[in-house]
């Protein structure tokens, strides 16, 4: 570690995070301080389980996608043995980025700088002009394969990786958020989803925590998305009603959700979450679901709908889309969005893709509106007075339920408080080690 990096690390470790993250507010510097960002990448992203890909993106031997954990570039690849490996995207010779394409299929990765080649399972295969080294090729091969993530695990087809090796068991890490993945998979009559339709990328000039906070914020829709509801269609539920049964929930471990289940069940109508389309629009899907689950269970699944759940620190199950983020710097975050294709449900999947284009695409409203608010947040946070960002709404409405701390006041900031309390634990634990 360089002297400058060590100084930055010491400066970030010396910060009193318990003072900056309080019960009902957090300090604005947590969104703008570059040293804190470096510590987050090291002590959160590189020390925890992080979503890196879905199995449907790399189904065949040789398939790969290029991703990041924190600031470290990765290759997520399916080997000839069908094992998924998460490897650091760095030639072990002089550090050149080995793979440059976002996705593809390759048996070998060849470094553009000096021609070293690596198999898609990370083994060093060839060294150009190998006679110039004291070691034999066998010795070089045994020492200089690509570095790998210490832990790789999957749940419901979602691939997670951990670089440190001490993140514990994946299912324990997911905790109550596992139910959200199960709920999503249950929407498919074949018991799985496919994320191979491609990812849209949105470059947000905002801190990664600003982007995450809005995903499970029940306070903003009537204001930020007002133009959507007026121009295209009404909201799926009446956000202005005092009778609305929408829960915001801290699931623990930084995971959180906005849960519409109680409201949908009270109305007992299918597809409220999907523009209330009639069954007659997707007859093959209905037939396949009833063949698998039976009529009554199918009705319940179609009433409850998909999850609206954030999985710490970078994955968002956005009903019929999946999103994930990659923080690039303290004030820049890439947000990726893909439509969900339900296996065994082609006609339903085609409609989901069209919905994603309309709502999330470049001409859509939802992401564009949220991104605009995020960028304005980031600019505003540079004003140093007042120092604090407030998250005090809804304490009195909270109660403890089996799935976590829950408020049925949809404007409560329960979800954001859950994220920040987990964040404080992680940043404080590593500081005190």
Q: What is d(CA 415, CA 256) in angstroms, rounded to the nearest whole number?
A: 5
- Give me the mean pLDDT over the 83-94 stretch: 98
| Residue 135 CB neighbours (<10 A) | 13
CA distance 265 to 176: 21
- Rounded CA-CA distance 412/373 in Å is 19
Coil, strand or helix: which one is 271? coil
Name the pairing type of β-strands 193-194 and 72-78: unpaired
Average pLDDT rounded to a whole number, residues 387-415: 94
Distance (Å) of CA 263 to CA 254, 348, 396: 24, 23, 21
Per-residue model confidence (pLDDT) at position 193: 97
- At 211-262, the pLDDT tens digits run 999 998 888 888 888 877 777 666 666 666 667 789 999 999 999 999 999 9
Can you give the pLDDT at residue 223?
Answer: 85
Q: Which of 72-76, 95-99, 214-218 has the lowest mean pLDDT?
A: 214-218
Query: In this predicted structure, which of 2-11, 35-44, 131-140, 247-256 has the lowest mean pLDDT?
Result: 2-11
Query: Any residues with CB less than 8 A from the CB of 44 and at least 6 apart, and which?
Result: 70, 313, 423, 426, 427
Residue 433, burial from CB neighbour count under 10 angstroms (0-12, 13-18, 19+): exposed
CB 55 within 8 A of CB 159: yes
Q: Give the pLDDT mean for 268-272.
A: 94
DSSP line for 57-122? GS-STTEEEEEEETTEEEEEEE-TT--EEEEESS-TTT------SSEEE-SEEE-TTT--EEETTS
Q: Which residues of 322-350 are buried (b: 16+ CB within 10 A; e: fewer)?
A: bbbbbbeebbebbbbbbbbbbbbbeebbe
pLDDT at 1 over 60: no
Per the CB < 8 A criterion, the answer to whether 59 and 85 are in contact is no
Mean pLDDT computed over 392-412: 93
- Quote the pLDDT of residue 238: 65
pLDDT category of residue 59 using cuts at 50, 70 and 90: very high
3-state secondary structure of 23: coil
Low-confidence winner among 165-174, 197-206, 240-249 (lowest mean pLDDT): 240-249
Selected residue with higher pLDDT from 1 and 75 = 75
Averaged pLDDT score across all residues of the chain: 92
Q: Is there a contact between 46 and 184 (Cβ–Cβ < 8 Å)?
A: no
What's the angle, vertex CA 395, arms to CA 392 and CA 397, rounded to 5? 135
pLDDT band at 11, cuts 50/70/90? confident
Please tell me the total number of residues recorded for the chain in this structure. Answer: 433
Instruction: Tell me which long-range contacts 70-75 makes (C-beta under 8 A, separation of at least 24).
Output: 70/41, 70/42, 70/44, 70/45, 70/46, 70/163, 70/327, 71/41, 72/46, 72/163, 73/97, 74/149, 74/161, 75/99, 75/109, 75/146
Instruction: Summarize the confidence of residues 64-83 as an average pLDDT.
Output: 96
Coil, strand or helix: which one is 179? helix
Q: What are phi and psi of 390, to 5 degrees?
A: -95, 135
CB of 356 within 8 A of CB of 282?
A: no
Residue 320's pLDDT band, with cuts at 50, 70 and 90, is very high
Contact (CB, 8 A) for 353 and 196? no
Residue 422 to residue 209: CA distance in whole angstroms? 12
Helix (H, G, I), strand (E, B) or coil at 196: coil
The CA distance from 224 to 45, in Å, is: 29
Of 4-18, 167-181, 359-373, the poorest mean pLDDT is in 4-18
| Whole-number pLDDT of residue 241 | 64
418: enclosing H helix or E strand = helix 414-432
Share of the chain above pLDDT 90, in %: 82
Q: Find out whether 103 and 65 touch, Cβ atoms under 8 Å.
A: yes
Report the alpha-carbon distance of residue 193 to residue 99 in Å, rounded. 27
| Average pLDDT of span 250-277 | 94
Reported as a single tens digit per residue, the pLDDT across 336-374 is 999 999 999 999 999 999 989 888 887 777 888 888 999
Q: Per-residue pLDDT for 433 more than 60? A: no
Cα angle for residues 146, 156, 74 (degrees, 5° grid): 20
Q: Tell the residue number behind the tokens 């500081």, with chain if given.
A: 431
334 with 367: CB under 8 angstroms? no
* CA–CA distances in Å: residue 138 to residues 80, 98, 128, 141, 156: 21, 21, 14, 5, 39
């Amino acid at each position: 570690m360089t002297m400058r990096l060590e100084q930055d690390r010491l400066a970030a470790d010396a910060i009193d995070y318990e003072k900056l993250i309080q019960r009902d507010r957090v300090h604005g510097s947590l969104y703008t301080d570059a040293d804190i960002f470096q510590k987050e990448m090291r002590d959160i992203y590189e020390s925890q389980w992080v979503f890196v890909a879905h199995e449907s993106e790399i189904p065949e031997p040789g398939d790969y996608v290029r991703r990041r954990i924190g600031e470290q570039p990765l290759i997520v690849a399916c080997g000839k043995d069908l094992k998924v490996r998460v490897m650091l995207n760095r030639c072990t010779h002089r550090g050149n980025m080995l793979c440059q394409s976002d996705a593809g299929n390759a048996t070998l990765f060849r470094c553009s700088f000096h021609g070293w080649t690596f198999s898609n399972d990370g083994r060093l295969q060839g060294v150009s002009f190998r006679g110039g080294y004291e070691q034999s090729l066998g010795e070089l091969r045994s020492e200089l394969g690509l570095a790998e993530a210490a832990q790789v695990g999957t749940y419901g087809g979602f691939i997670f990786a951990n670089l440190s090796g001490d993140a514990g068991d994946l299912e324990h890490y997911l905790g109550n958020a596992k139910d959200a993945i199960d709920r999503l998979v249950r929407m498919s009559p074949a018991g799985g989803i496919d994320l191979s339709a491609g990812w849209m990328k949105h470059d947000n000039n905002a801190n990664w925590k600003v982007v995450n906070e809005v995903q499970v914020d029940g306070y903003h829709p009537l204001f930020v998305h007002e133009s959507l509801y007026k121009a295209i269609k009404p909201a799926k539920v009446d956000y202005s009603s005092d009778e609305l049964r929408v829960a915001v929930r801290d699931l623990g471990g930084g995971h959180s959700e906005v849960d519409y289940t109680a409201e949908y069940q009270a109305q007992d109508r299918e597809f409220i979450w999907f523009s209330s389309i009639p069954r007659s629009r997707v007859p093959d899907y209905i037939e396949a679901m009833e063949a698998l689950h039976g009529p009554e269970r199918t009705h319940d699944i179609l009433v409850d709908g998909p999850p609206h759940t954030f999985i710490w620190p970078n994955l968002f199950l956005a009903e019929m889309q999946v999103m994930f983020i990659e923080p690039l710097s303290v004030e820049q975050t890439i947000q990726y969005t893909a439509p969900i294709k339900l296996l065994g449900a082609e006609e339903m999947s085609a409609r989901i893709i069209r919905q994603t284009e309309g709502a999330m695409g470049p001409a859509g409203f939802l992401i564009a509106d949220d991104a605009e608010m995020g960028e304005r947040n980031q600019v505003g946070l540079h004003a140093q007075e007042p120092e604090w960002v407030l998250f005090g709404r809804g304490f009195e409405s909270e109660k403890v339920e089996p799935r976590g701390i829950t408020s049925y006041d949809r404007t409560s900031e329960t979800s954001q408080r859950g994220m920040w309390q987990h964040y404080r634990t992680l940043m404080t634990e590593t500081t005190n080690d």
